[in-house]
Amino acid sequence: MKNLEIHPEAKALIFDVDGTLADSMPVIYISWRNALKSYGIDFTPEIFLHRAGLPLKQTVEELNEQFGTSMNPIEVRSIVEKDFQEHMHLVKPVEPVCKLVREFKGKIPMALGTGGQRENAWKIIETIGLRDCFEVLVAADDVENFKPAPDTFLKGAELLGVDPKHCQVFEDGARGLEAARNAGMIPTDVTKYYQVTIGEELY
Catalytic residues: 16
- The CA-based dihedral angle spanning residues 155, 94, 29, 77, taken in that order and rounded to the nearest 10 degrees: -40
Burial-class residue 36 by CB neighbours within 10 Å (0-12, 13-18, 19+). buried
Cα-based distances in Å from 75 to 17, 72, 80, 182: 24, 5, 9, 33
DSSP 71: -
φ, ψ dihedrals at 9, nearest 5°? -95, 0
CB 168 within 8 A of CB 7: yes
